[in-house]
Structure 1
Amino acid sequence: MPPSDLDLLLRLRLVVARVGESDNANWWASDGVLSPTGQYAYDRIAPRTGPFARARVAFAVAQERCASQVPPGALTLWTLPADTEEAFDDRWSHWLDHVEDWAPTFAAVEAINTSSILTALVEHGLIDGQHADAARALTAAPPDPSVRLAETAHIDVDAVRQLAAGFACSQPAALVVPYVRSNA
């Protein structure tokens, strides 16, 4: 993935992680790590890199929770193909070198106060109406805690956007994890 796509992936993960926190949709127990309260606590510990430390914690909690609800080998917003995850991890040092550039993004994420993933993703300009419509058309079969999206030859930004939007199958305190299988 090119750097701009990795930046988009970071933004998508931040918004989904924030919506899923216990003070919003309550999908995972990160308890406001990405909220203003989390900002206050982490900035005292790591004043310069606090936002990214909070992101790592929130992502780890979301990844663990989602992994427990999908079949083995499924690709989710939090577990993409190894080459994508490696590129994402490599890009982390660039983001840390440019923390000030990400301050508006983290401030916008802290302000999220909704359990509607589609509302948050659209308001932050991360998905368009087509992605939102596709997510609204998804149906999870209760009590299945996951929903399989269309098979894909490779994970591109469109697939990643759909993985984020697919959380729309969830309800507050009732997580449904969207996933794909790659035919590559």
Structure 2
Amino acid sequence: MTVPDQETELDYDWLLKLRVAVARCGEMDLAGWWNTSKQLGPSGSSVLKRGFPRTHHFAQARSVMAVASHRCEQLLSHNDAVTLWRLPEALEDHFESLWETWLERHAIWGSYFEAIAAIRTGDVIAAATDLGLVTSDDINALRALKAAPNGRGLNVGDSFTGQRRQIALLALGFSVGRANDPVVPFVQASAAA
């Protein structure tokens, strides 16, 4: 997979892949950041496949992403923060509008969800790198950031730009957390354009 250029329009397929990868890494059987366990793994697939034979992967993803979003909102005291799970409304609306398209093309997503099910570590950097979702420049940009004093947040920018690099940092920033102790990457929405 080719990582989109820093200056191009947001690639929503890439965003979905990035969110699903972080969602899997944060499950209880891996990093333990949110209260789902193996739902994006093989056992979650086998359970949901009975009720959703063609679209079970997307049902798994939607469920774990909702739990991850809720957990991050609980941890981050900034109600106006932009996070990986809560981008500005226009971007979220467009993301939501694509679910039907993704469901119609479910067959081409199978190998990606198999790769997600094979993740055996809560290491977001390793998973995102192995899946071809981030660059070494993204990882280097992450290393320049500092966690917030309360230990619950990681500010990845002064204002939300919508650029691929910043969204990659909203995902990679989870790597600052430890097992069962997440750190939520964010940008203040009040500064977002």
Answer whether TM exceeds 0.5 for this pair: yes
Corresponding residue of 2:141: 134
The partner residue of 1:12 within 18, 33, 36 is 18
Q: Contact 1:138–1:169 (CA<8 Å) still a contact in 2?
A: no
1:183 aligns with 2:189: no
Q: Contact 2:146–2:155 (CA<8 Å) still a contact in 1?
A: no
Which consecutive residues of structure 2, in runs of 5 or more, have no partner in the other structure?
A: 1-7
Equivalent-residue separation in structure 1 for 2:54 and 2:114 (angstroms): 14
Q: CA RMSD in A?
A: 1.5
Secondary structure (helix, strand or coil) at the match of 1:180 reads strand
Q: Contact 1:36–1:110 (CA<8 Å) still a contact in 2?
A: yes
Quickly say closer, same or farther: Cα 1:141–1:85, change in 2 above 3 A: closer
Corresponding residue of 1:36: 42
Corresponding residue of 1:50: 56
Q: Contact 2:156–2:166 (CA<8 Å) still a contact in 1?
A: no
Q: Could you tell me the TM-score, scaled by structure 2's length?
A: 0.90
| Number of residue-to-residue matches in the alignment | 183
Give the partner amino acid of 1:127.
V
Identity %: 37
Q: Contact 2:40–2:60 (CA<8 Å) still a contact in 1?
A: yes
Task: Please list the CA deviations of residues 124-177 of structure 1 after superposition, one character each: whole Å capped at 9, or x if unmatched.
Answer: 111111111222333324543111111235212221111111111111111000
- In the TM superposition, structure 1's runs of 4+ consecutive aligned residues that sit over 4 Å from their partners are none
The partner residue of 2:157 within 109, 126, 150 is 150
Pick which of 94-103 and 161-170 moved more. Answer: 161-170
1:68 aligns with 2:74: yes
Secondary structure (helix, strand or coil) at the match of 1:126 reads coil
Corresponding residue of 2:30: 24
Which consecutive residues of structure 1, in runs of 5 or more, have no partner in the other structure?
A: none
Secondary structure (helix, strand or coil) at the match of 2:154 reads strand
Corresponding residue of 1:111: 118
1:160 aligns with 2:160: no
